[in-house]
Amino acid sequence: TPADIGVIGLAVMGRNLARNFARHGHRVALYNRTPARTDALVEQFGQEGEFVPSHTLAGLVAALAVPRRVVIMVKAGEPTDAVIDELAPLLEPGDIVVDGGNAHFADTRRREAALRARGLHFVGTGISGGEEGALNGPSIMPGGTAEAYRSLGPLLESIAAQVDGRPCCTHVGPDGAGHFVKMVHNGIEYADMQLIAEAYDLLRHAAGRQPGEIAGIFREWNRGRLESYLIEITAEVLGHTDADTGRPFVDVVQDRAEQKGTGRWTVQIALDLGVPVPGIAEAVFARSLSGGVPQREACRDLPGPTETWLDSAAADRFAEDVEHALYASKIVAYAQGFQQIQAGSAEYDWQVDPGAMAAIWRGGCIIRARFLGRIEAAYQADPQLPTLLADEYFRKALGEAQSAWRRVVSTAAQLGVPVPGFAGALAYYDALRAERLPAALIQGQRDFFGAHTYHRTDREGSFHTLWAGDRSEERR
Ligand code: NBP
């Protein structure tokens, strides 16, 4: 019998995806550049399902049912192109090539166009959930033609995480849409992690709580509206004790956050699209700042506030305030990410349904959370929603949180605890609700030094004031 699907690249991710397909009753053809990996998979996990190993790409192609469905799961970048170049000539029109790696959506657009010209379908697919998700049910974000999805979708949906009986996989849109949405998912993940880290920092350095106690607070929060994978693992990490030293694990880890680049991509693309995603940008910059060792060394003895702790009664109330501030800031960060998805969709004419993205992120992926059901509902109620902040539920949550949120941000400033995420989110909230922004003044400055012109509130057209002359106004 021919195989239902092929997997190329059998490192951790590919191996686990292949096993996931097999465990769901699909016959899986296998190929890896280094044959030992292929053999090891069959040897160790062969009993989990039906595998058809091959030591050549041609062998893998020959093993597949037509139209062929092949998932490439190799290192993103040049290796992906190398595999496509070798694979494409072996395929026939109508065959479907899936790239499940962390590709940049612009690369996916390029590859899709090249394969489309050869009559092949190219499905750039975001896959989130890491190693564990790949094996037990990831969140899957496939981009490509509707025709390809008709053939491929049922296989992907069968191996995806399931929430309330619905698979965490849906057709995102054409060409680069899937990888774009995966990129924004990662950007949101950065922002969410930064906000959680700030909440910890406040509980530790303003409220004076110890890591073990803070783990308890996060566990408590995880029973409420903040329930999410990231909050859950935060409690685990904070509750962990280093075996060597007996100290809290979080105190023996170097405080320099690293990154692989998908958060940075999100911000770079947001800049290109002109979408404000300060929450994601702050999170990326906060990681870079933490790694700025010479700058941090040089600034260690700069003066700070004289007051450094809350008294114990205030500290108890403060923990509740931090929960509000975290929830509100999280709404803002997700609102920014979803606006970026809408902007990308409009720019590339992808017709992405933002509510459906929230739905497929409810399980399998790193940002999975109860909260995403609210986002899905918001877009169901109004598919044209300009921002999540305007949704009835979120508007109410922000309204209820705002006094606590302001107390947290001002306390942080007074006690010298850096909260770029919380403070930036509050500024974003206040900017969007402002009746008038000082952007009017900036327009005046631009017109003054560069004759860039401005629009008036009371008349149509572009205007310029003769700043160096008699300051009369001309229409431009
Ligand atoms: P790696 O990213 O470590 O890549 C290793 C695989 O790429 C091996 O199978 C290797 O073959 C193959 N490969 C390379 Br490198 N160069 C090749 C070439 N020129 N031709 C053919 N094969 C080549 O594997 P991974 O960690 O399993 O990740 C796979 C993809 O999934 C990546 O794009 C990664 O970014 C993404 N990923 C996603 C998540 C997530 O949570 N979504 C997590 C981790 C990774 P060899 O065995 O012969 O060296």
Q: Is 132 in the pocket of ligand 1 (CB under 6 A)?
A: no
E strand segments, 86-132: 96-99, 121-128
The percentage of the chain sitting over the pLDDT mark of 70, rounded to a whole number, equals 100
Q: Is 32 in the pocket of ligand 1 (CB under 6 A)?
A: yes
- As annotated, the binding site includes 9-14, 32-34, 74-76, 102, 128-130, 185-186, 190, 260, 287, 446, 452
Q: Is 464 in the pocket of ligand 1 (CB under 6 A)?
A: no
d(CA 114, CA 103): 16
| Ligand 1 atom showing the smallest separation from residue 14 Cα | 27
Q: Is 417 in the pocket of ligand 1 (CB under 6 A)?
A: no
**Phi first, then psi: what are they for 63, rounded to 5°?**
-80, -10
To test the pocket of ligand 1, the residue of 30, 75, 131, 367 to mutate (highest count of ligand atoms within 8 Å of its CB) is 75
The per-residue pLDDT for range 238-289, each reduced to its tens digit, is 999 999 999 999 999 999 999 998 999 999 999 999 999 999 999 999 999 9
Q: Is 128 in the pocket of ligand 1 (CB under 6 A)?
A: yes
CA of 108 to the centre of ligand 1 (A): 16
For ligand 1, atom 12, the nearest C-alpha belongs to: 74
| Mean pLDDT score, 363-379 | 95
Instruction: Assess whether pLDDT exceeds 90 at residue 404.
Output: yes
Whole-number pLDDT of residue 154: 98
C-alpha distance from residue 115 to each of 4, 8, 108, 302, 381 (Å): 21, 17, 10, 57, 38
Q: Is 127 in the pocket of ligand 1 (CB under 6 A)?
A: yes
- As annotated, the binding site for substrate includes 102, 128-130, 185-186, 190, 260, 287, 446, 452
Q: Name 421's Cβ contacts closer than 8 Å, sequence gap at least 6.
A: 191, 194, 195, 198, 279, 282, 283, 286, 329, 333
Whole-number pLDDT of residue 307: 85
Q: Is 83 in the pocket of ligand 1 (CB under 6 A)?
A: yes
| Mean pLDDT score, 41-66 | 98
Told to judge if 330 belongs to the known catalytic residues of this protein, a careful annotator would answer no
Residues paired with 3 in a beta bridge: 64
Question: Ramachandran region of residue 167, left (φ > 0), alpha (ψ -120 to 50) or beta?
Answer: beta
Q: Which of 157, 182, 323, 330 is catalytic?
A: 182
| Mean pLDDT score, 432-455 | 98
CA of 74 to the centre of ligand 1 (A): 3
Whole-number pLDDT of residue 199: 98
d(CA 461, CA 454): 8
| Whole-complex ipTM | 0.97
Q: Name 475's Cβ contacts closer than 8 Å, sequence gap at least 6.
A: 461, 462, 463
For ligand 1, atom 44, the nearest C-alpha belongs to: 130
Q: Is 79 in the pocket of ligand 1 (CB under 6 A)?
A: yes
Told to judge if 396 belongs to the known catalytic residues of this protein, a careful annotator would answer no
| Mean pLDDT score, 235-239 | 98
Instruction: Give the rounded distance of the alpha carbon of 216 from its chain centre.
Output: 27
Confidence of residue 409 (pLDDT cuts 50, 70, 90): very high
Whole-number pLDDT of residue 253: 98
CA of 290 to the centre of ligand 1 (A): 28
- As annotated, the binding site for NADP(+) includes 9-14, 32-34, 74-76, 102
Sign of CA dihedral 218, 224, 225, 228: positive
| Ligand 1 atom showing the smallest separation from residue 130 Cα | 41
Of the candidates 192, 411, 420, 227, the residue with the CA atom closest to the CA atom of residue 318: 411
| Ligand 1 atom showing the smallest separation from residue 74 Cα | 7
The per-residue pLDDT for range 97-135, each reduced to its tens digit, is 999 999 999 999 999 999 999 999 999 999 999 999 999
Of the candidates 332, 424, 361, 379, the residue with the CA atom closest to the CA atom of residue 186: 361
Confidence of residue 308 (pLDDT cuts 50, 70, 90): confident
Q: Which of 157, 189, 282, 376 is catalytic?
A: 189
| Ligand 1 atom showing the smallest separation from residue 82 Cα | 19
Confidence of residue 144 (pLDDT cuts 50, 70, 90): very high
Q: Is 262 in the pocket of ligand 1 (CB under 6 A)?
A: no
Q: Whole-prediction pTM value? A: 0.97
For ligand 1, atom 2, the nearest C-alpha belongs to: 75
Classify 34 as helix, strand or coil. Answer: coil
Whole-number pLDDT of residue 312: 86
To test the pocket of ligand 1, the residue of 12, 13, 81 to mutate (highest count of ligand atoms within 8 Å of its CB) is 13
